[in-house]
Amino acid sequence: MTTNRRRFIGGGLGAVALAGSRSTLWAQSREPIKVGAFGPMSGNAAAQGQSIRESVEMVANLKNSAGGVLGRQIEIVIGDDAGKPEEAAVVARRFATRDQVSLAIGSVSSPASLAAAQVFREEELPQIVVSGTAQRITTQGNEWVFRSAVPDRKLVADMVEFINEKMPKLRRFGFVYVNDDFGKGGFDAFLEAAEERYSRGDLDFIGQLTRIRSTNPDAIVEWSRYTEGALIHRQIKQMGWELPRFGSDGIAAPAFLDLAKEAANGVIYPTHFSPATSANLPAAQAFIALVRKTYNKPPDYVHAQAFDAINIALAAIERAKSDDRTAVRNAMRQTDYQSVRGPFKFDQKGDPTLVTHMVRIVDVKETDARN
Amino acid sequence: MGALSLSQLIDLVVGGLAIGCVYSLIALGFAMIMRATNIIHFAQGEVMMLGSMCGLTSLWLLPALPLPVVIAVGMASSGLIAVAMELAVYRTLRRRRVPIMNIITATVGMSILCINAARIIWGSEPLRFPELFATTAYDFGGVRMSPQLFWIMVMGVAIMGALQLFLKHTPTGLAMQAVAQDHEAAQLMGANLTRIMAYTFAISGMMAGAAGIMLGSMFFAFFEMGFITGLKGFVAATLGGLGSIAGAMLGGILFGLIETFSTVFLSSAYKDGIGMILLIAILLVLPSGLVGLWQKRR
């Protein structure tokens, strides 16, 4: 396991030297508040792990240069779980014991987030999951877990509501989904649907699509990651099949548009964050500008979820007037925050009360489908 | 499910034949190398992947390249890569009289090496090919057909036909056939074994390179694309009767059709599993593969 640690003490080395020369009492009360951030910093999903790191470091740097929190600097400790549950559990244990963090932010995948959550629960350390959407993360009776992402069940329910409201004529659905937890989670919400499954990594979906086509549905829904999702939409087009098409949050990534190009036009899907659906959220506009200024690129949805998570965490520490883990957890429950995705509170389970944003692709670009 | 309409049936047949041609081209590489050297060349899928990547890179550099040139680039680069593998690794191992099993293990090593190299060079995200084919469907007397699948079939058949002509009517081709049948006799007749082996790898690589461009344009190119497709090509070669040229061609097309139709008529989620069960069933009936069908009667 690779370990990355980076300290954010204002002024860098000079400040460290200064602090060392002062009295121990003063130094203790001025010790930094430690926040852990973890995710896949290496491996297949490294880009998403880096997004967590970028957002969290950006916010910590800004806070530190403005005097920190409770008059103390914030120190971010980075952990790499490589997207694997077993490594996430090790990182979680290290955060709780050796690093002595007050709160942890992560991870990206649901299995890794869940594995870490079990450790944090034992160690009584508050955690904000960034983009793990599996419902079961927050349904284990774990009082230490919170989540920044809209969980999968709510996402699908919001999408079904959206369809019922805006396109009430669509009644019979064809549903093609990847044969794993992610795909099944989406399918459960659609009762009246002709169902077809595929395995992760499949390339050719003509067989599944032909079977669905023979049931003559009003619309088709695919629940895939962007690689397979792009192929499914391209192959629907290739078959010369015109009908309303819906996708999952798994295709809400710029790579989907790169791979599907014109075949993506008309597709509607739920998204965790999109500049296109945030035009009238001032917090989102400020966030987009900040990421552009700091990293010279547009933010992705993990940036947004991690940005909200670290801001909520720092606000909770401020309200608690302490970095004590229990106090921070209790303060977190009182969260009422203007997030980059809309007004944000935690429900009983620790899930956000956000309404899912819906996107429609027009001219190979995301637009707000709710408009 | 409801009954299939004729146009849906044609969609499926065309789709199955197109992907079948890709499997055939990979299977041909397996069969030719198997005949000449007794090696199962497990890096064949990766040779295909590298051809696909090189073809795509040529399109990035010169976006106006016509399709035949892209295919030629893919074939040439895969051919060169396969020859480099043979000359640098496999030939050296053979000279040192390393047991055949160890050389086969080395081919697995080559395949992992190629996957990692491709990941470093081209990254781990899937890469899209630009549109190489017309997007509006062809209409053959009321029968609609995707131009992409149509041309992949045509090119696949043309490349396989050219290979047959080469093997039957050129001195090099005939020498390759002779080496495949009996190393020592061919050598006594004056065939240069080292050179013929290199040619075999070159042609196997070229077949894979063509398959890589086709597969990449149908779906997309990415560093792991060679693994499962290479395995399917190997299965197709086994289905045809390992080491048989005609068997490999037939095996690939049959495997493509079986795979596509089993999705429709059996289960879609377990299509790979069903394909493999059918393969085992066919081998139980025809132990030497499809080639056994006509060899037995002789």
What are A's interface residues with B at a Cβ cutoff of 8 A?
Answer: 44, 179, 196-199, 201-204, 206-208, 210-211, 213-216, 227, 230-231, 238-240, 255, 258-259, 261
Is residue A21 domain-shared with residue A135, that is, in the same domain?
Answer: yes
| Residue A18: predicted pLDDT | 45
| Of the partner residues A197, A203, A204, the one whose CB lies closest to the CB of residue B269 | A197
| Residue B188: predicted pLDDT | 84
Residues in chain A: 371
Is residue A190 domain-shared with residue A42, that is, in the same domain?
Answer: no
Structural contact between residues A180 and A226, judged by C-beta atoms closer than 8 angstroms:
no
Q: Which residues of B touch A213 (CB under 8 A)?
A: 8
Within-domain flag for B1: no
Is residue A88 domain-shared with residue A15, that is, in the same domain?
Answer: yes
Within-domain flag for A352: no
Is residue A24 domain-shared with residue A136, that is, in the same domain?
Answer: yes
| Residue B1: predicted pLDDT | 46
Within-domain flag for B136: yes
State the SS3 of A255-285.
HHHHHHHHHHCCCEEEECCCHHHCCCCHHHH
pLDDT digits (tens, 9 = 90+) for B35-62: 888 899 999 999 999 999 999 999 999 9
Within-domain flag for A326: yes
Structural contact between residues A113 and A132, judged by C-beta atoms closer than 8 angstroms:
yes
* ∠ Cα A247 A281 A152 (to 5°): 30
Within-domain flag for A146: yes
Is residue A18 domain-shared with residue A72, that is, in the same domain?
Answer: yes
- The number of folded domains in chain A is 2
Mean pLDDT value of segment B154-181: 91
| Residue A2: predicted pLDDT | 46
Q: Give the integer Cα–Cα distance in Å for A133 and A317.
A: 25
Q: CB A67: neighbour CB atoms within 10 A? A: 11
Contact A206 B124 (CB under 8 A): no
Residue with tokens 């086994």: B238
Within-domain flag for B57: yes
Q: In Å, how far are B13, B256, B258, B268, B270 from B262, measured between CA atoms?
A: 12, 10, 6, 7, 9
By C-alpha distance, the chain B residue nearest A183 is B269
Which residue in B17, B268, B270, B276 has the most chain A C-beta atoms within 10 A of its own C-beta, making it the best mutation to test that interface?
A: B268
Q: Give the integer Cα–Cα distance in Å for A300 and A48.
A: 9
Within-domain flag for A354: no
List the one residue out of B226, B34, B201 whose CA is nearest residue B111.
Answer: B226
Is residue A263 domain-shared with residue A313, that is, in the same domain?
Answer: no
pLDDT band at B268 (very low <50, low <70, confident <90, very high): low
Mean pLDDT value of segment A62-76: 94
- The number of folded domains in chain B is 1
Q: Give the integer Cα–Cα distance in Å for B162 and B170.
A: 11
Lowest mean pLDDT among A115-119, A170-174, B24-28: A170-174
R_g of chain A computed on alpha carbons: 22
Q: Give the integer Cα–Cα distance in Å for A180 and A137.
A: 17
By C-alpha distance, the chain B residue nearest A200 is B269
Structural contact between residues A144 and A154, judged by C-beta atoms closer than 8 angstroms:
no
Lowest mean pLDDT among A161-170, A248-257, A295-304, B182-191: B182-191
| Residue A114: predicted pLDDT | 93
Within-domain flag for A309: yes
List the one residue out of B129, B137, B19 whose CA is nearest residue A238.
Answer: B137
Contact A198 B268 (CB under 8 A): yes
Is residue A162 domain-shared with residue A146, that is, in the same domain?
Answer: no
Q: Which residues of A touch B126 (CB under 8 A)?
A: 227, 230, 255, 259
Is residue A24 domain-shared with residue A118, that is, in the same domain?
Answer: yes
Residues spanned by the domain of B135? 6-297
| pLDDT value at A27 more than 60 | no
What's the order of all strands across the beta sheet hosting A173-178? A193-198, A173-178, A219-223, A245-246, A268-271, A357-362, A365-368
Within-domain flag for B30: yes
| Percent of chain B whose pLDDT exceeds 70 | 96
Within-domain flag for A124: yes
* Angstroms from A240 CA to nearest CA on chain B: 8
* Angstroms from A224 CA to nearest CA on chain B: 13
Structural contact between residues A231 and A261, judged by C-beta atoms closer than 8 angstroms:
no
Both structure tokens of B234: 């190997």
Within-domain flag for A349: no
Is residue A265 domain-shared with residue A211, that is, in the same domain?
Answer: yes
| Residue A370: predicted pLDDT | 87
pLDDT digits (tens, 9 = 90+) for B110-132: 999 999 999 999 988 889 998 88
Q: What are the two backbone dihedrals, phi and then psi, of residue A270, each rounded to the nearest 5 degrees? A: -80, 150
Structural contact between residues A306 and A37, judged by C-beta atoms closer than 8 angstroms:
yes
Is residue A126 domain-shared with residue A163, that is, in the same domain?
Answer: no
Residue with tokens 């090696």: B39
| pLDDT value at A60 more than 50 | yes
Domain CATH number, residue B59: 1.10.3470
Is residue A38 domain-shared with residue A145, that is, in the same domain?
Answer: yes
| pLDDT value at B172 more than 70 | yes
| Residue A15: predicted pLDDT | 45
Within-domain flag for A337: yes
Q: Give the integer Cα–Cα distance in Å for B8 and B2.
A: 12
Within-domain flag for B216: yes
Q: Give the integer Cα–Cα distance in Å for B238 and B258.
A: 15
By C-alpha distance, the chain B residue nearest A257 is B128
Domain CATH number, residue A193: 3.40.50.2300
By C-alpha distance, the chain B residue nearest A232 is B219
Is residue A7 domain-shared with residue A144, that is, in the same domain?
Answer: yes
Q: CB A125: neighbour CB atoms within 10 A? A: 25
The count of CB pairs under 8 A between chains A and B is 79
Mean pLDDT value of segment A21-30: 50
| Of the partner residues A207, A215, A261, the one whose CB lies closest to the CB of residue B260 | A207
What are residue A5's DSSP bridge partners? A77
Structural contact between residues A161 and A143, judged by C-beta atoms closer than 8 angstroms:
no
Residues spanned by the domain of A240? 153-271
pLDDT digits (tens, 9 = 90+) for B195-243: 999 999 999 999 999 999 999 998 999 998 999 899 899 989 988 887 7
CB proximity under 8 Å: B 105-134 to A = 124-126, 128
